[in-house]
Chains A and B, each alone.
Chain A
Amino acid sequence: SQQGEEDPQALSIQEGENATMNCSYKTSINNLQWYRQNSGRGLVHLILIRSNEREKHSGRLRVTLDTSKKSSSLLITASRAADTASYFCATDVWEHGGATNKLIFGTGTLLAVQP
């Protein structure tokens, strides 16, 4: 089953605008990652944030993590048409006192950036 949910399910914006998508998860985590997927093909890793971090930046991407609320957000600034894709959060689950090696994905946000 999915670890969490993403919100919104779909988002349509104009080029140059910022896009924010949110992810909620259910259990304790070791870290949280964001991936991009174009047209139902392979996943591209965007950024990883560890459970003891609150915010991380990479280029036009900003990720926040609130472990007390079991939620994360991904902000893409100055969006481009090439950012059109599905975005997934994935958690590396903490079980039985240790990190597991499996990624649990959310349901995804479909982002459409209009030129």
Chain B
Amino acid sequence: DAGVTQSPTHLIKTRGQQVTLRCSPKSGHDTVSWYQQALGQGPQFIFQYYEEEERQRGNFPDRFSGHQFPNYSSELNVNALLLGDSALYLCASSPTTRYNEQFFGPGTRLTVL
């Protein structure tokens, strides 16, 4: 049983560009959450998707958007990249009935130059 997978592993972009990160949840999980982790900090909640809709959102600007597909996989899009967007982006999945049990993927390391 595959766990949560994320792609790509690493990504380098320049300021002003747009980026799309991808996440496949653990089998049987229908809820996907995204987190941003800056170097030396704890992860910060970006948003959560369930039934292809955004259910919860953290304190992030509209440049951060997402999508969930019918197979429960998800994408995180960031527009107009800033240097401060450089971080590890973590995806977590959970089943609706036990949403506390969040399983995290290995993350995507985004560097903005």
Contacts and interface: CB of A to CB of B under 8 A. Distances in A.
B86 interface: no
A71 to B, nearest CB: 16
B102 A45 contact: yes
B42 A101 contact: no
B43 A101 contact: no
Nearest to A105: B42
A105 B101 contact: no
A35 B103 CA distance: 10
Contacts of B109: 40
Contacts of B4: 42
Chain A interface, DSSP helix/strand/loop, else mixed? strand
B107 A41 contact: yes
A43 B105 CA distance: 7
Nearest to B103: A45
Given A1-B59, A101-B33, A40 B102 contact: no
A2 interface: yes
Contacts of B104: 35, 42-45
Contacts of A31: 100
25 contacts: A2-B41, A2-B44, A33-B100, A40-B37, A40-B107, A41-B106, A42-B90, A42-B104, A42-B105, A42-B107, A43-B43, A43-B92, A44-B104, A101-B48, A101-B50, A101-B55, A102-B45, A102-B56, A102-B58, A103-B33, A103-B92, A103-B102, A105-B43, A106-B42, A107-B42
The 9 A-B residue pairs with the shortest CB-CB distance in the complex, in nearest-first order: A105-B42, A43-B104, A42-B106, A102-B45, A42-B104, A105-B43, A102-B56, A101-B99, A88-B42
Interface of B: 4, 31, 33, 35, 37, 39, 41-45, 48, 50, 55-56, 58-59, 88, 90, 92, 99-107, 109
Given A88-B43, A101-B55, A101-B99, 7 more contacts: A40-B39, A42-B106, A42-B107, A43-B43, A92-B100, A104-B45, A105-B44
Interface of A: 1-2, 30-31, 33, 35, 40-45, 48, 88, 90, 92, 100-108
